[in-house]
Amino acid sequence: MTREEFEELVAEALDRIPPELTRLMDNVAVFVEDEPPADDPELLGLYEGTPLTDRGEWYAGVLPDRITIYRNPTLRMCESREDVVAETEITVVHEIAHHFGIDDARLHALGYG
């Protein structure tokens, strides 16, 4: 799958997030990279920033939070295009949930691990 096709899958996954949630997303940008950091080669996605639940009155003038979705680990673990579509959607939701302050344990319990 080309980078452009994968980026389109990420965009489609973002489009499926309910509007009532996307309206609440604040100061966050989503990126696609081919490979994750070398110390975690199987990482599918990464949230970097300050979750909405941790922001206080001090939160102003900061760079956007960053969600990165990693293409190659997803392609390596999936056997079909349908698997890639499903895994990409799970990863996008997982990382957006971190933006809302939901931790990994809760996400795993909800089936987004």
Query: Which residues touch 31 (CB under 8 Å, ≥6 apart)?
Result: 66, 67, 68, 69
Residue 58 predicted with pLDDT over 90: no
Residue 2 predicted with pLDDT over 90: yes
| CA distance to 38, 39, 104, per residue, from 93 (Å) | 24, 23, 12
Question: Is residue 28 a contact partner of residue 69, using CB atoms and an 8 Å limit?
Answer: no
Distance CA 58, CA 95 (A): 23
Residue 111 predicted with pLDDT over 90: no
pLDDT on residue 59: 80
What is the arithmetic mean of pLDDT over 82-96? 95
What's the pLDDT tens digit per position in 16-52? Answer: 999 998 888 888 999 999 999 999 999 999 999 988 8
Lowest mean pLDDT segment, chosen from 23-27, 79-83, 95-99: 23-27
